[in-house]
Structure 1
Amino acid sequence: MGRSTEPPVEGSKNSHAETDAAAVGSDFLQLDIGQAPPGGRTAWLADRLRSAIADGRLPVGARLPASRVLAQELRVTRGVVTEAYRRLAETGQIAGRGRGGTVVVAAPAAPSRRAGGEAEPGPALFGAADREGAVDMLRTLPCRIDLSPGVPDLAAFPRTGWLRAERAVLAGVTPADFGYGDPQGAPALRRAVVGWLARNRGIRADPDEVVVVAGVAQALSLLGRLLRQDGIRRIAVEDPGSLGARQQLEYGGFTTVPVPVDSGGLDVGALRASGAGAVLLTPAHQFPTGVVLDGERRRELLSWAAEGGVVIEDDYDAEHRYDRPPVPALRSLLPDGVCYAGSVSKLLAPALRVGWLLVPPGRRDAVVTAKRYADLGNGILTQLVLARLMDSGELERHLRHVRQRHRRRRDVMLRAIETHLPGARVHGAAAGLHLMVTFDAPRADAHGGGFRDTDLAAAALARGVKVHPLSWHRITPGPPGLVLGYAAGPAHEIDEGVAAIGEALRALHLGE
Structure 2
Amino acid sequence: MAESWVNHAERIGADLHLDLSAPGSRRAALVQALRDAVRGGRLAPGTRLPPYRSLAADLGVARNTVADAYAELVAEGWLIARQGSGTRVAERTEPLAPAVPAPPLPKTPKTPPRARAPRHDLRQGTPDASSFPRTAWLASYRRALQQAPNEAFGPGDPAGRPELRASLAEYLARVRGVRAEPDRIIVCSGFAHALRLLFGGGVLRGPLAVEAYGLPFHRELLTAEGVRTVPLPLDARGARVDRLDRERAVLLTPAHQFPTGGPLHAERRAMVVDWARARGGVVLEDDYDGEFRYDRKPVGALQSLDPERVILVGSASKSLSPAVRLGWMVLPERYVGDVLRAKGEREAWASVLDQLALADLIGSGSYDRHVRRMRQRYRSRRDRLVAALAEHAPHIGVDGVAAGLHAVLRLPPGTERSAVKAAVWQGVALDGLAEFRHPDASDKDMPAHDGLVVGYATPSEHAYGAALEALCGALPPGEA
Fold shared per TM-score above 0.5? yes
Shift of 1:176: 3.2
- In the alignment, which of 264, 279, 284 is matched to residue 293 of structure 1? 264
- 8 Å contact kept, 1:147–1:494: no
Residue in structure 2 matched with residue 474 of structure 1 by the alignment: 437
User: In 1, distance between residues paired with 2:150 and 2:461?
Assistant: 47
The code of the aligned residue for 1:456 comes to A
The code of the aligned residue for 2:339 comes to V
Give CA deviations for 1:164-221 in whole Å, capped at 9, x if unaligned: 1111112223443211021110010010010111110111211111100001110111
Residue in structure 2 matched with residue 17 of structure 1 by the alignment: none
- 8 Å contact kept, 2:160–2:187: yes
- 8 Å contact kept, 1:371–1:377: no
Shift of 1:421: 2.6
Residue in structure 1 matched with residue 240 of structure 2 by the alignment: 267
User: In 2, distance between residues paired with 1:508 and 1:264?
Assistant: 29
User: In 1, distance between residues paired with 2:321 and 2:213?
Assistant: 25
Shift of 1:377: 5.1
Q: 1:490 to 1:420 in 2, by over 3 A?
A: farther
Q: 1:250 to 1:420 in 2, by over 3 A?
A: farther
RMSD: 2.3
Q: 1:375 to 1:187 in 2, by over 3 A?
A: closer
Shift of 1:229: 5.8
Shift of 1:507: 8.2
SS of residue matched to 1:398: helix
Residue in structure 1 matched with residue 253 of structure 2 by the alignment: 282
Shift of 1:500: 2.7
- In the alignment, which of 489, 493, 497 is matched to residue 467 of structure 2? 497
TM-score after normalising by structure 2: 0.72
Shift of 1:488: 2.1
Q: 1:200 to 1:373 in 2, by over 3 A?
A: same
Residue in structure 1 matched with residue 208 of structure 2 by the alignment: 235
TM-score after normalising by structure 1: 0.67
User: In 2, distance between residues paired with 1:217 and 1:454?
Assistant: 29
- 8 Å contact kept, 1:153–1:406: no
Give CA deviations for 1:364-414 in whole Å, capped at 9, x if unaligned: 111011112685352110000000011111100111111111111111111
User: In 2, distance between residues paired with 1:483 and 1:466?
Assistant: 10
Give CA deviations for 1:30-76 in whole Å, capped at 9, x if unaligned: xxxxxxxxxxxxxxxxxxxxxxxxxxxxxxxxxxxxxxxxxxxxxxx
Shift of 1:284: 0.6
SS of residue matched to 1:151: coil
SS of residue matched to 1:357: strand
Q: What pairs up with 1:41-440 in 2 under 5 angstroms?
A: 116-119=110-113, 142-225=117-200, 228=202, 232-272=205-245, 275-307=246-278, 308-372=280-344, 376=348, 378-440=350-412
Give CA deviations for 1:96-125 in whole Å, capped at 9, x if unaligned: xxxxxxxxxxxxxxxxxx96321466xxxx
Shift of 1:508: 12
Q: 1:377 to 1:142 in 2, by over 3 A?
A: closer
Q: 1:421 to 1:375 in 2, by over 3 A?
A: farther
User: In 2, distance between residues paired with 1:168 and 1:351?
Assistant: 20
SS of residue matched to 1:296: helix
User: In 2, distance between residues paired with 1:419 and 1:491?
Assistant: 20
Give the gaps of 5 or more residues in structure 2: 1-107
Count of aligned positions: 365
Structure whose CA Rg is larger: 2
The code of the aligned residue for 1:486 comes to Y
The code of the aligned residue for 2:437 comes to R
User: In 2, distance between residues paired with 1:465 and 1:115?
Assistant: 31
User: In 1, distance between residues paired with 2:149 and 2:109?
Assistant: 50
Residue in structure 1 matched with residue 423 of structure 2 by the alignment: 460
Q: 1:374 to 1:276 in 2, by over 3 A?
A: farther
The code of the aligned residue for 1:459 comes to A
The code of the aligned residue for 2:168 comes to V
User: In 2, distance between residues paired with 1:355 and 1:115?
Assistant: 42
- 8 Å contact kept, 1:183–1:377: no
Give CA deviations for 1:414-460 in whole Å, capped at 9, x if unaligned: 1112223331121124111110111112xxxxxxxx23x23422321
SS of residue matched to 2:453: strand
User: In 2, distance between residues paired with 1:501 and 1:153?
Assistant: 18
SS of residue matched to 1:487: coil
- 8 Å contact kept, 2:158–2:340: yes
Give CA deviations for 1:461-494 in whole Å, capped at 9, x if unaligned: 2321001110001123511110001112245644
The code of the aligned residue for 1:501 comes to L
- 8 Å contact kept, 2:211–2:233: yes
